[in-house]
Amino acid sequence: MFSVNLAGKVALVTGAGRGIGKAIAQGLADCGATVAVNDIDPQTATLTASILSGEAQAYAGDVGSAAEVERIIDKVMDDWEQLDILINNAGIEPHSSILEMTDEQWQSTINVNLSAAFYTSRAAGRIMRERGQGVIVNIASIAGHNIPLRNRASYVASKAGLIGFTRECAREFAAYGIRVNAVCPGVIETEMTQHLRQNTEQMAKWLADIPQGRLGLPEDVVGLVLFLCSDAARYLTGQAINVDGGKVML
């Protein structure tokens, strides 16, 4: 049986107060990693950290701000003296047509879903380069490949950008022993999709499009992330891999 041992590793997961990030934090902890749990919501970050199986601590803050990211990563280094795994998971998905979208909606989506990965990868990359090793996993979306979504232009643009950034980061960081990949979930049952899941027409359309016949659960994303964090994926970098029940077949 395939198992992942991350004992001795320190992992930072952004947006881990709930949903996919929380499930990833649990998976990493179950594999032995020490987990730094970030979320913009201090309460949920603390709650996630409190239920993890191993060593864990909450680091609340807005990863859409470069200064906040520097503060968070400095604190992680003060506390644990290393950073081996970075999971860029925090994300937002405002709904609006392009014609009605505000500058704030556009900019905040780009900040949280794309610029944050640059801020964290820059800070963590400098630390990982010193040790000659590290793993970065960016949680993108199938929407970043070729699935247009109605009324979510800022989201689709941010996720397509994140996949592009993943490739460039992988190319530059390979020389330092750092692997960078993106995971692209399909429709996953979290608070992000809750209001759309209440729409029976939308649900029927989704289910008809998914060969496996169901939406994903946060736990369905975790196995791929753990694999990418493990040495079993040592020759794998710069990829954007779908985990979507077969919805998109490239």
Ligand X SMILES: NC(=O)c1ccc[n+]([C@@H]2O[C@H](COP(=O)([O-])OP(=O)(O)OC[C@H]3O[C@@H](n4cnc5c(N)ncnc54)[C@H](O)[C@@H]3O)[C@@H](O)[C@H]2O)c1
Instruction: Using CB under 6 A, pick the residue from 26, 44, 181, 237 that binds ligand X.
Output: 44
Q: Check binding of 63 to ligand X (CB under 6 A).
A: yes
Residues 12, 87 contacting (CB under 8 angstroms)? yes
- Considering only the stretches 71-79, 86-94, 128-136, 206-214, report the one whose residues sit in contact with ligand X under the rule CB under 6 A: 86-94
Instruction: Using CB under 6 A, pick the residue from 13, 40, 170, 225 that binds ligand X.
Output: 40
- What is the DSSP track for 123-146? HHHHHHHHHT-EEEEEE--GGGTT
- Considering only the stretches 9-17, 97-105, 164-172, 200-208, report the one whose residues sit in contact with ligand X under the rule CB under 6 A: 9-17
Residue among 39 and 84 whose Cβ is closer to ligand X: 39
Q: Check binding of 90 to ligand X (CB under 6 A).
A: yes
Q: Check binding of 64 to ligand X (CB under 6 A).
A: yes
Q: Check binding of 26 to ligand X (CB under 6 A).
A: no
Whole-angstrom Cα distance, residue 231 to residue 160?
27
Whole-angstrom Cα distance, residue 123 to residue 117?
10
Selection from 23, 22, 26, 19 nearest residue 52 by Cα: 26
Residues forming the site for ligand X (CB under 6 A): 14-15, 17-21, 38-41, 44, 62-64, 89-93, 112, 139, 141, 185, 187-188, 190-193
